[in-house]
C-alpha cells in the first residue's frame, strides 16, 4: 500500500501518513451500520405511530444512505499515524501513551504484545512511551517497524 505525502510541504519533510487498516475501518463501518439500523427502526415506528407522511420516511432513508457514504469517506481520510524526518504522531488510538514525539527524544524501539495485540513500543528518553498497535495501521507491520528504525537511526546520526 502506498502512503503518499499529503502536501508539497509534507513531501519536503519526507512525511508518510498511514490510514487505519481495512479490517479496522470495516469494524467502524459495521458499528455505524448497526446504530443506523436501530435508528431507522425507531424512526419507522415513530412515523407509523404518528401517521406522518411517507415523504418523511423517504427523506430519512436518503439521509441514512448519505450517512453511510460519508462515514466510509471519513474513515478512509483519517491518518492514524504520521511520520516525517522530525518525528511521529499517532491519532485516533486509545491507550497510545505519548501521542507525538521527535525522533531525537526516542530512546529505543521494541516490539511486543500488549493485551494480545501486536505493538510497536517507542520508549522515550523522559521515561514516557508510545504504544502503536501495528494491526490498526494499514500496511505491512514489518515495514512500519523498519521505517521507525530507519528514521530513528538517521536522527541519531547512524546510516
- Domain check: are 151 and 93 in the same one? yes
- Domain check: are 48 and 66 in the same one? yes
C-alpha cell at 121: 513500543
Average pLDDT over residues 54-78: 93
- Domain check: are 116 and 100 in the same one? yes
What's the pLDDT score for residue 2? 44
- Does 5 score more than 50 pLDDT? no
Structural domain harbouring 26: 22-77
For 26, 61, 66, 71, the CA distances from 30, given in Å and listed in that order, are: 6, 18, 16, 11
Q: Which residues are within 8 A (CB) of 59 and not within 5 positions of it... i.e. 6 or more apart? A: none
Question: Residue written as cell 522515550?
Answer: 124
Mean pLDDT for the chain overall:
90
More confident call, 16 vs 6: 16
What's the pLDDT score for residue 159? 60
What's the pLDDT score for residue 157? 82
What's the pLDDT score for residue 8? 46
Which candidate, 88, 106, 80, places its Cα nearest to that of 15? 88
For 59, 117, 121, the CA distances from 105, given in Å and listed in that order, are: 53, 25, 14
What's the pLDDT score for residue 69? 95
- Does 31 score more than 70 pLDDT? yes
- Domain check: are 92 and 146 in the same one? yes
Beta bridge partner(s), residue 109: 122
- Domain check: are 150 and 96 in the same one? yes
What's the pLDDT score for residue 156? 82
Last residue of a domain, one of 48, 77, 106: 77
Residue 64 lies in a domain: yes
What's the pLDDT score for residue 14? 85
Q: Which helix (H) or strand (E) holds 25?
A: helix 22-49
Residue 2 lies in a domain: no
Which candidate, 146, 147, 144, 151, places its Cα nearest to that of 103? 151
Average pLDDT over residues 122-128: 97
Average pLDDT over residues 43-57: 94
- Domain check: are 86 and 15 in the same one? yes
Residue 65 lies in a domain: yes
- Does 4 score more than 60 pLDDT? no
Domain count along the chain:
2
- Domain check: are 142 and 93 in the same one? yes
Average pLDDT over residues 66-88: 94
- Domain check: are 32 and 71 in the same one? yes
- Domain check: are 89 and 151 in the same one? yes
Beta strand residue intervals within 9-49, DSSP E: 16-19
What's the pLDDT score for residue 60? 93
Percentages helix, strand, coil for the chain, rounded to the nearest 5?
50, 25, 25
Amino acid at each position: 500500500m502506498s502512503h503518499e505525502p499529503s502536501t508539497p510541504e509534507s513531501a519536503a519533510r519526507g512525511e508518510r501518513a498511514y490510514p487505519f487498516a481495512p479490517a479496522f475501518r470495516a469494524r467502524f463501518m459495521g458499528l455505524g451500520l448497526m446504530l443506523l439500523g436501530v435508528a431507522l427502526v425507531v424512526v419507522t415506528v415513530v412515523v407509523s405511530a404518528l401517521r406522518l407522511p411517507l415523504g418523511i420516511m423517504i427523506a430519512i432513508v436518503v439521509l441514512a444512505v448519505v450517512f453511510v457514504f460519508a462515514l466510509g469517506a471519513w474513515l478512509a481520510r483519517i491518518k492514524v499515524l504520521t511520520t516525517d524526518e522530525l518525528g511521529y504522531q499517532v491519532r485516533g488510538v486509545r491507550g497510545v501513551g505519548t501521542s507525538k514525539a521527535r525522533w531525537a527524544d526516542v530512546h529505543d524501539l521494541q516490539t511486543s504484545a500488549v493485551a494480545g495485540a501486536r505493538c510497536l513500543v517507542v520508549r522515550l528518553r523522559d521515561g514516557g512511551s508510545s504504544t502503536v498497535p501495528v494491526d490498526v495501521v494499514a500496511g505491512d507491520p514489518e515495514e512500519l517497524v523498519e521505517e521507525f528504525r530507519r528514521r530513528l537511526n538517521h536522527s541519531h546520526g547512524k546510516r
